[in-house]
């Protein structure tokens, strides 16, 4: 079962993100992660469904929501927006996800921003465990209730021990991993499959960020 996101990811992933697992989108700032999250929520709204949207960086933009969905007020009513400001808040919110009968899509943008602020050389083992716990809760919700879960991760340049552990956790739990990158031009991006259960790694799609959403450029191919 797949969930159509209403973005170029649908073509890349032969129909959409898997409804029974966690999909992880990672890339640098400005690569389009939040755009994809908001557009997936819009698609869910257009299907008459509700989205739980956990926003850890106040990145959800009402102005952007207005641009992408003419029925702005109704769109906003379809979103259960949870703003979290600390790692502990985030842990609580993820732990207490309930009333899932009403929700058919879960988004966490970003799963690791507050984690990054919390973790240090002393506490990294317990904080990493807490990150794994959140992934595990989300993976279970997806698997048992067939609720697609979309999470985002940033990329960092440092290669320290903490960094490696968080990467291993974020590689292990999601069944699908998509990398986003800027290409030529201000608004052009590429989405590349980095992990998938049934599709080749390296398959990619190029797209443009426009005022109304994301527009595919050309055809995808293997490289
Ligand atoms: N209306 C728009 N037209 C063109 N580009 C836009 C528009 N709105 C936002 N963008 C571009 O989208 C990018 C931000 O994307 P976003 O999804 O927030 O990235 P991320 O979440 O990966 O940091 C910025 O480069 C911004 O210029
Ligand atoms: Mg963002």
Q: Which pTM was predicted? A: 0.95
Q: How far is Cα 181 from Cα 190, in angstroms, rounded to an integer?
A: 5
Which residues are near ligand 1 (CB < 6 Å)?
Answer: 27, 29-35, 64, 67, 187, 209-211
Closest ligand by atom to 35 CA: 1
Tally of structural domains, the chain = 1
Q: Which atom of ligand 1 is nearest to the CA of 109?
A: 21
CATH number of the domain within which 159 lies: 3.40.50.300
Q: How far is Cα 182 from Cα 200, in angstroms, rounded to an integer?
A: 21
- How much is the pLDDT for 75? 98
The alpha-helical segments, DSSP class H, found in the chain are 9-12, 33-46, 62-68, 72-77, 87-95, 113-118, 124-145, 161-172
Q: How far is CA 100 from CA 59, 135, 150, in A?
A: 23, 17, 15
- How much is the pLDDT for 164? 65
- How much is the pLDDT for 100? 83
Ligand 1 binding pocket mutation candidate from 5, 8, 35 (most atoms within 8 A of CB): 35
Which domain, by its residues, includes 138? 2-221
- How much is the pLDDT for 196? 98
Q: What is the CA radius of gyration of the chain?
A: 17
Ligand 1 binding pocket mutation candidate from 25, 27, 30, 217 (most atoms within 8 A of CB): 30
Q: Tell how far the Cα of 13 is from the centroid of ligand 1, in angstroms.
A: 22
- How much is the pLDDT for 184? 85
Q: In tens digits, what is the pLDDT along the chain, a chain of 223 residues?
A: 999 999 999 999 999 999 999 999 999 999 999 999 999 999 999 999 999 999 999 999 999 999 999 999 999 999 999 999 999 999 999 999 987 889 999 999 999 999 999 999 899 999 999 999 999 999 999 999 999 999 999 876 666 666 667 788 999 999 999 999 999 889 999 999 999 999 999 999 999 999 999 999 975 445 4
- How much is the pLDDT for 101? 83
Ligand 1 binding pocket mutation candidate from 9, 24, 29, 32 (most atoms within 8 A of CB): 32
């Amino acid at each position: 079962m797949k969930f159509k996101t209403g973005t170029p990811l649908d073509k890349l992933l032969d129909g959409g993100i898997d409804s029974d697992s966690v999909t992880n989108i990672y890339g640098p700032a400005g690569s389009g992660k939040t755009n994809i999250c908001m557009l997936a929520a819009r698609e869910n709204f257009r299907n008459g469904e509700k989205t739980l949207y956990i926003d850890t960086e106040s990145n959800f933009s009402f102005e952007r929501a207005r641009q992408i969905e003419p029925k702005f007020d109704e769109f906003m009513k379809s979103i259960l927006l949870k703003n979290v400001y600390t790692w502990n808040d985030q842990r609580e919110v993820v732990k207490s996800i309930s009333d899932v009968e009403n929700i058919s899509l879960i988004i966490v943008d970003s799963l690791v921003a507050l984690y990054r602020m919390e973790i240090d050389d002393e506490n990294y083992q317990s904080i990493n465990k807490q990150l794994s716990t959140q992934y595990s809760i989300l993976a279970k919700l997806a698997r048992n209730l067939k609720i697609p879960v979309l999470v985002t991760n940033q990329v960092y340049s440092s290669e320290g021990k903490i960094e490696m552990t968080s990467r291993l956790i974020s590689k292990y739990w999601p069944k699908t991993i998509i990398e986003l990158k800027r290409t030529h031009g201000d608004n052009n991006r590429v989405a590349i499959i980095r992990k998938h259960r049934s599709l080749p790694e390296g398959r990619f799609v190029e797209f443009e960020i426009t005022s109304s959403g994301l527009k595919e450029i050309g055809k995808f191919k293997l490289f």
